[in-house]
Structure 1
């Protein structure tokens, strides 16, 4: 595996023009990381990049990771297997494998090995004893956490932070906390990083993010907003989906309602409520995940 293949041109930045923004004197830009890589987009590429480099430098012949059946991380890992001719294993929250599910179908087509476990076993995915047993089962494999969040992932997200235009605020959707932590580590002290939690009861993520940053954190101030989950992880309201469609039609900005749609809708509401001072500049991170739309269509949650 040639490390030079990971040296990609930076994704573009899209400026949004809208009467609300003019009225509130706010500048809003979207970092289009959904366009970063042709098949492994957004924060999933950022997080995987240095994990895959570590896999090579440590002499591992495969990796093992974790995901739900519709997981963006699972999809990205499967695509990495295909693109870079890697061997990958995924522990899937089961108990059964639905081979009609578009994410599962793609993972299998990419040659990834999928291993279903029951929910009780899946909850052990952070348990050191369980991880040690997996290391015994796959002895020459690099174990990558669910969502790809670890210190190697932060390296990739810090590169994202350093590519951003100068802003007062940088905002991202937050699931496991890795993207928020990497942005906080990579942005300057003049920028405030805001994470929009996409799951219910997400206050525990504050602890996880602090653990990732360590006590020596010297980067940007950060905070996690936990009131914009719109029903919880994997759930969304009609209002969120209508907003996603409006953004696609008006600005040619494709969104899905699980991560980026919630995040940008939250920003829109906060701007309306004068949360951001007049004259503020905001950069919102489009973290990709558009493959999730196929899963939502498959489950009948959005129109085909």
Structure 2
């Protein structure tokens, strides 16, 4: 099975040529940003491990990716959430349904008070979103793929862009790439992102590009849906509605008509679009 070496495609969006690293095409179940972060746990020997425990939201891309990892490794998967909406319990869709189908045991508890602080030796605990040092194992492979491509195609003045949640992927890409890595904060603000960087590495951080408007993670914005549809129409590529929509708005604002070449890292997470699209259709009068 192929979990690395995603293709790089040149697209034209709003009359600008941009390269896209198609990490959405890594593998139908284990792809995108999270597959890179969790690759360490896929490839290394964990002979005594029987279970993975993590936490976050009930439609998290990381949750689904971890459920795929555990299914591949034949591990149990226990996942803690603050709340599961009743409509989702009645009609599971998206990442939630996919993770349940993969055998996830989901536990609804008040996260700050009730997540266990100690685990058995046969259990791996993974922080929300995969913000951990082991993530650099797979992200270095991603960096090496980008470096090989840049040499083959004789790229000059290249900048690498991707949107950030915890910022782990952008941080480790900057560690292993000779190019400037640009990002924007999708969860919290730039100060939150800087704190996340510092938890893992004190130096050599990516460049954070600011947006004038404050966006709240998981909230619906018409401009997110509009740029998502424009990308589909102009490139025939489906992008993630949570991270990539803000990412492309940021590209439009800061990087449009720049002299250097841009490599955009596709975030994967397309299963999550099922639930996001339902929400957008409902809010904006069933926009197609």
TM-score (norm 1): 0.81
The within-5 A match list for 1:1-304 is 8-18=3-13, 20-21=15-16, 27-53=17-43, 56-57=45-46, 59-94=48-83, 98-99=88-89, 100-102=91-93, 103-121=95-113, 130-132=116-118, 135=119, 138-164=120-146, 165-166=149-150, 168-188=158-178, 191-215=179-203, 217=204, 222-227=206-211, 231-272=215-256, 276=258, 278=259, 280-299=260-279, 300-301=282-283, 303=286
Runs of at least 5 residues in structure 2 that lack an aligned partner in the other structure: 151-156
Is contact 2:3–2:35 with CA below 8 Å preserved after alignment?
no
Instruction: Show CA shifts across 1:101-136 (max 9, x none).
Output: 3132222221111111125437xx6xxxx522xx1x
Matched residues in 2 for 1:142 and 1:230: separation? 35
TM-score (norm 2): 0.85
Matched residues in 2 for 1:173 and 1:36: separation? 18
SS at match of 2:41: helix
Change (3 A) 1:19 1:172: closer
Matched residues in 1 for 2:13 and 2:97: separation? 40
Change (3 A) 1:79 1:255: same
Matched residues in 1 for 2:22 and 2:165: separation? 19
Is contact 2:3–2:30 with CA below 8 Å preserved after alignment?
no
SS at match of 2:183: strand
Is contact 1:230–1:236 with CA below 8 Å preserved after alignment?
no
Instruction: Show CA shifts across 1:142-178 (max 9, x none).
Output: 1111111211112211211121143521011100111
| Higher deviation after alignment, 39-48 or 94-103 | 94-103
Deviation for aligned residue 1:197: 0.9
Change (3 A) 1:301 1:162: farther
SS at match of 2:216: coil
Deviation for aligned residue 1:236: 4.1
Paired positions, count? 273
Instruction: Show CA shifts across 1:274-298 (max 9, x none).
Output: 5x3x2x0110100101111112134
Q: Which residue of 2 aligns with 1:24?
A: none
Displacement over 6 Å in runs of 4+: none
SS at match of 2:206: strand
Change (3 A) 1:198 1:238: same
Matched residues in 2 for 1:192 and 1:156: separation? 19
Is contact 1:8–1:36 with CA below 8 Å preserved after alignment?
yes
Change (3 A) 1:174 1:228: farther
How large is the Cα RMSD of the aligned pairs? 2.5
Deviation for aligned residue 1:224: 1.6
